[in-house]
Amino acid sequence: MQKSDNLIFDAEHIWHPYSSVTMPSPTHEVSSAQGVRLTLADGREIIDGMSSWWSAIHGYNHPRLNQAAKQQIDNMSHVMFGGLTHSPAIELARKLISITAEPLQKVFFADSGSVSVEVAIKMAIQYWFAQGKTDKRRLLTIRNGYHGDTFGAMSVSDPDNGMHYLFENVLAKHIFAPAPDCQRDEDWQPEDIAVFKQLIIANHQHLAAVILEPLVQGAGGMRFYCPEYLRQVRVLCDEYDVLLILDEIATGFGRTGTLFAYEQAGICPDILCLGKALTGGYLSLAATLCSVKVATGISADGSGVLMHGPTFMANPLACRIACESLDVLLESNWKQQVQDIEEQLLTELLLYKTRSLVKEVRVKGAIGVVELNEELSEHMSWLPMYIVEQGVWIRPFRNLIYIMPPYIINSKDLSQLTRAMGKIIEALTKKVA
């Protein structure tokens, strides 16, 4: 198919995520979107299995979110948050406090998930600094994690298997425990937490916080682990006086079957990072919530202001849409929708478990993962085009084919996505044979 002028210009001048400008990855021009479908500039329609990197949980062009955006933009699209405030931010903070764990009473708005992680790290370090414990400035985390592409976030993402190994020598040095292997509480053994426990005992005098993605490790490998691991981490953090940061940027707002993944472990973090689905995929917005203990502790020395202030912090347009998105979510039957997606994914993806190229099939909530024995990097010259030919949008990475569809997807469209995953496996099998 001949490239349009737009795609030619794009390939010559625009840098896309995780891509080379000299050998650009194939791209597809989207002209509009509605529900779970993207309409390409050439007229083809494809079903979005990615929720636009896990954010568009209500699908596209939602009438209530559109209306909220139109009303707010006629009022004001932006105003600085330094020394000023506005009702969209106040309303959103009220909503977030009401749906998260009771100790989380303070809200700091940021403009992206990565920045919310940076803020969380700053909160933790400043908290201990204000207590006079200036040696507590390192973090403990687990391998296979991913927390964002800014420098603080990169420093707590997997240093070897992640995307940031090139920056190893310029990143802050933190401490990494093995990624947990226990996928179910029924399989829990005390040795599952043994190395993590040793590390927190040996280093707690220098640890400001533990940071984890609860239950689901996202872009670091789409790995799932059991709630008991999270419970044990909370106990150890309390015992050894270390703060707990939970990064729910990918898992928040229902994706794993509960509103927040930490609920499945029955715990509460000291600091919570939210983003992605917060605005239903309309605008970039994130929030870092913390306990009163952390917030007041930062000011314990009398001059402890939190040293962060993004230009677009608490953008009124984004906040108003986020308020409406939360209302849409909470008024919907989201829990049943996610459960239905999970059951269908289990039924349809487990059919591929016996394929020779398949290492493992994993499903949790509205997340379906097929892990392969083969890395996909050498196939990315043809694979994106092949996927679109199946009438779907799926973006594999490393050795993973996965989907995180909008909650509103119906069973027929979901089946088209899972069938496409099977066709991808078949096509790859022929290529590597």
Q: How far apart are the C-alpha atoms of 45 and 43, rounded to whole Å?
A: 7
Question: 60, 127, 146, 282: which one is catalytic?
Answer: 146
d(CA 233, CA 220): 20
The backbone torsions φ and ψ at residue 429, rounded to the nearest 5 degrees and listed phi first, read -60, -40
| 76, 86 contact by CB (below 8 A) | yes
Q: Where are the alpha helices (DSSP H) in 79-112?
A: 87-99
Residue with tokens 């400035």: 137
Instruction: Mark whether 247 is an active-site residue.
Output: yes
Residue 430 appears among annotated catalytic residues: no
49-52: long-range contacts, CB 8 A cutoff, minimum separation 24? 49/392, 49/393, 49/394, 49/403, 49/404, 49/405, 49/417, 49/420, 50/393, 50/394, 50/395, 50/403, 50/404, 50/405, 51/277, 51/281, 51/404, 51/405, 51/406, 52/281
The neighbour count for residue 307, using CB atoms within 10 Å, is 9
**Residue linked to tokens 């979110």:** 65
Has 146 been annotated as catalytic?
yes
Q: In the annotation, is 293 catalytic? A: no
* Marked catalytic residue, from 48, 158, 192, 247: 247
**What are the angstrom distances between the C-alpha of 171 and each of 2, 135, 152, 155, 174?**
43, 18, 8, 5, 9
Handedness of CA 259, 264, 267, 273 (dihedral sign): negative
Based on the number of CB atoms within 10 Å of its own CB, is 114 exposed (0-12), middle (13-18) or buried (19 or more)? Answer: buried
Catalytic residue among 18, 135, 301, 353: 18
Find the catalytic residue in 106, 136, 197, 276: 276
Active-site amino acid positions: 18, 146, 247, 276
